[in-house]
Chains A and B, each alone.
Chain A
Amino acid sequence: MIDEIDAGLHFSVLPEVWRIIVAASVEYSVQIFATTHSYECIDAAVKGSAGNDDKLALFRLTRRDGDIRATRVEHEGIRSAVDFALELR
């Protein structure tokens, strides 16, 4: 689990960082759970996981009626949300 995966990184290198992490996770068969509050980081995750579309999913956590609910968004949905500037954070 990588908390605030974009912490300490300039947004311009985030796609490359995602490419590195995705490639390494595939190489070593490791599952990654990463958290972020950054729109740029979500955009970078889509770009950085290109070619591994089936390996990326986003879970948006929202608080509703006192409970925390998770909504799963697949790679294509993430890309569409980013393209149309929809809120995923």
Chain B
Amino acid sequence: MSPREHTPGGSSFAMASPILRFLSKVSIDHGRKDRLRIRVSEDLALPIDSDQSSNSSTPIPVISTTTLPSSSLNLEYYANRRSDIPDGVSTIRIDRDRTAIERSSQVSQRAFFFLASHPGDSRADAQRFSRLVEARRKQDLIEALRRIEPRLRDLTVLLQPTGPTVAADIGPGPLVPTSYMGQGFERLLSIIPAFYSRRVGQF
């Protein structure tokens, strides 16, 4: 069973438990609007009851923690709304009569190296580009690349005898493998999708 998630402000909480009372005080000031995702840990994922006493047509979710006093909540902090992996993770645990906050695991980050002396890897480029397409971010890449190649209309992955490769639509005629579009174009095609790959932890 996957953990349940709630977003303060998006749903109403019945602040009955110490954990939820604590969450009502959580605020993050970064000078911009941030997103705080609350992931209920597996052992706390109890059935959510509807508050039948409410006059509202929308049931108010109530999470009971009374039967599992040693359970915990995991807070995942996202600095970027489009992020798919958290920038920070904290765990709140109830220890008898006090509430303790424990720093949880650090979020892993990947490093990418683009060497000038190393030829591009069209298969890796195609894989990263495909992830970008899957996330519906292809147009962002096209608009960025169009700033240095105004003829660019579209990008797509072609399955060639040598393997998958990214090809560019630059007008009438067949699509052009991006390896023919110039080294600078090809490098940006490698670099920018890698930024997104770092986000989703895939290479």
Contact, CB under 8 Å: B191 / A7: no
Q: How far is the CB of A23 from chain B (nearest CB, A)?
A: 8
Residues in B neighbouring A4, C-beta threshold 8 A: 116
In the complex, the answer to whether A1 meets B184 with C-beta atoms within 8 Å is no
Check: A71 CB closer than 8 A to any chain B CB: no
Decide: B116 and A24 in contact? CB cutoff 8 A.
Answer: no
Q: B163 contacts the other chain (Cβ, under 8 Å)?
A: no
Chain B residues near A13: list those with CB within 8 A: 148, 184
Shortest distance in angstroms between A18's beta carbon and chain B's nearest beta carbon?
11
Shortest Cβ gap from B188 to chain A (Å)? 7
Chain B interfacial residues counted at CB < 8 A: 28
Encoded as 1 (CB less than 8 Å from any A CB) or 0, chain B from 124 to 154 comes to 0000000000000000000011011000000
Is B87 a contact of A20 with CB atoms below 8 Å? no
Name the distance in Å between B142's Cβ and chain A's nearest Cβ: 12
Residue of B nearest to A19 (CB): B147
Q: Does A8 contact B (CB under 8 A)?
A: yes
Q: A16-B148, A29-B83 are in contact. Are A1 and B191 (CB under 8 A)?
A: no
30 A/B residue pairs, CB under 8 Å, sorted by A: A1-B111, A1-B112, A2-B187, A2-B191, A3-B114, A3-B116, A4-B116, A7-B116, A7-B183, A7-B184, A7-B187, A8-B183, A8-B184, A8-B186, A9-B184, A10-B184, A13-B148, A20-B148, A20-B192, A23-B144, A24-B192, A24-B195, A25-B195, A27-B80, A27-B82, A27-B195, A28-B80, A28-B195, A28-B198, A29-B79
Binding site for A on B (CB under 8 A): 79-80, 82-83, 87, 111-117, 144-145, 147-148, 182-184, 186-188, 191-192, 195-196, 198-199
